[in-house]
């Protein structure tokens, strides 16, 4: 808004004329609220324009102010500038540590609102570049919601792989009243625990031990005279891509009695083996 004064000793009428090539199917970016009227002698009138931007960037509109009785015509260039709201993520790339299939790892992605008002956000359906799976990547507390003014909103990205492979995603987040989507590249890797455990039999051959889900393993020793020692070897092999730890444990209510296991725990690098001795 701005004022126009009439310094003359006579009243006069005025009018505003828009000189843009208007599209009648769309609302103009600038609309004059005082298209025409009368200004008394020695007085002023407040002229008002409303700005209705339809896009981001610099928007211009040409108007002409005319006073027909005085053959007065003055061009006006109206200029408005619209910027995208300052809402962004603290990073555009997230890389998870390799995760064992069936387990999960987490990373925090922070949404930052630098504006003096709140906005609604919503993550769109994820784009899976390397295959498609369900529930491998979860956003908590919610994939949509409200971020308050001048605040930071931490979001938990939970990666839970179900396959022995690499994963690549593009997370796309839409913010109300914006055109551009916020994109975050996400990478992760799932791996299987490719291990085997074999026990030495009485005849010296080796056989695979069963997992606890498949039952209890029995390891047989020959008859051993009092004071003598007998032993069996258990070989743990790591055929996977990453190292893993092992640890022997027993029921707290039971004692190992005369048996000992060495070593009780350790780390096995990929493509390596560890022999444990039960005595």
Q: What residue ranges do the domains of the chain occupy?
A: 2-82, 87-191, 195-278
Q: Work out the end-to-end distance of the chain between its first and last CA atoms, rounded to an integer number of angstroms.
A: 94
Q: How far apart are CA 197 and CA 210, in angstroms?
A: 8
At 218 the pLDDT is 78
Which of residues 149 and 260 earns the better pLDDT score? 149
Query: Binning pLDDT at 50, 70 and 90, where does residue 55 land?
Result: confident
| Model pLDDT for residues 78-109, shown as the tens digit of each residue | 999 888 889 999 999 999 998 888 889 999 99
Low-confidence winner among 4-13, 41-50, 61-70, 248-257 (lowest mean pLDDT): 248-257
Q: What is the mean pLDDT of residues 153-163?
A: 92
Q: Is the pLDDT of residue 131 over 60?
A: no
CATH fold for the domain made of 2-82? Immunoglobulin-like (2.60.40)
Encoding tokens for residue 190? 């799932």
Give the architecture-level CATH label for domain 87-191.
Answer: Sandwich (2.60)
Judge if 2-82 and 87-191 fold alike in CATH terms. Answer: yes
At 179 the pLDDT is 79
| Model pLDDT for residues 134-151, shown as the tens digit of each residue | 578 889 998 899 999 999
Q: Is the pLDDT of residue 133 over 70?
A: no
Which of residues 186 and 250 earns the better pLDDT score? 186
At 92 the pLDDT is 94
Q: Is the pLDDT of residue 247 over 60?
A: yes
At 204 the pLDDT is 74
At 76 the pLDDT is 94
Q: Give the count of beta carbons closer than 10 Å to the beta carbon of residue 163.
A: 13
Q: What is the largest CA-CA distance in the chain?
A: 132
Q: How far apart are CA 218 and CA 215, in angstroms?
A: 10
| Model pLDDT for residues 4-35, shown as the tens digit of each residue | 999 988 999 999 999 988 777 788 889 999 99
State what percent of residues in the chain have pLDDT above 70.
Answer: 92
Query: Binning pLDDT at 50, 70 and 90, where does residue 129 land?
Result: low
Q: Is the pLDDT of residue 203 over 80?
A: no
Q: How far apart are CA 128 and CA 166, in angstroms?
A: 11
Q: How far apart are CA 136 and CA 193, in angstroms?
A: 18
At 132 the pLDDT is 47
């Amino acid at each position: 808004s701005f004022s126009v004064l009439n310094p003359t000793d006579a009243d006069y009428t005025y009018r505003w004329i828009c000189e843009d090539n208007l599209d009648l199917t769309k609302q103009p970016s600038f609309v004059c609220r005082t298209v025409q009227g009368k200004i008394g002698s020695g007085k002023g009138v407040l002229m008002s324009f409303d700005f209705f931007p339809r896009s981001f960037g610099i928007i211009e509109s040409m108007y002409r102010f005319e006073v027909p009785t005085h053959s007065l015509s003055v061009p006006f260039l109206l200029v408005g500038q619209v910027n995208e709201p300052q809402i962004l993520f603290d990073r555009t790339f997230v890389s998870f540590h390799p995760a064992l299939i069936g387990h999960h790892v987490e990373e925090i992605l922070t949404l930052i609102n630098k504006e003096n008002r709140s906005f609604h956000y919503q993550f769109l359906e994820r784009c899976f570049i390397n295959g498609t799976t369900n529930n491998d990547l979860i956003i908590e507390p919610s994939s949509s919601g409200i971020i308050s003014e001048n605040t930071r909103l931490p979001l938990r990205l939970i990666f839970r792989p179900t396959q022995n492979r690499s994963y690549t995603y593009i997370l796309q987040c839409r913010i109300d009243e914006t055109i551009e989507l916020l994109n975050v590249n996400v990478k992760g890797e799932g791996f299987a625990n490719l291990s085997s455990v074999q026990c030495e039999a009485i005849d010296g051959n080796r056989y695979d031990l069963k997992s606890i889900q498949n039952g209890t393993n029995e390891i047989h020793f020959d008859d051993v005279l009092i004071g003598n020692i007998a032993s069996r070897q258990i070989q743990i092999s790591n055929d996977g891509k990453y190292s893993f730890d092992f640890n022997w444990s027993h029921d707290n209510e039971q004692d190992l009695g005369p048996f000992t296991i060495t070593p009780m725990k350790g780390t096995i690098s990929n493509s390596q083996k560890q022999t444990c001795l039960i005595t």
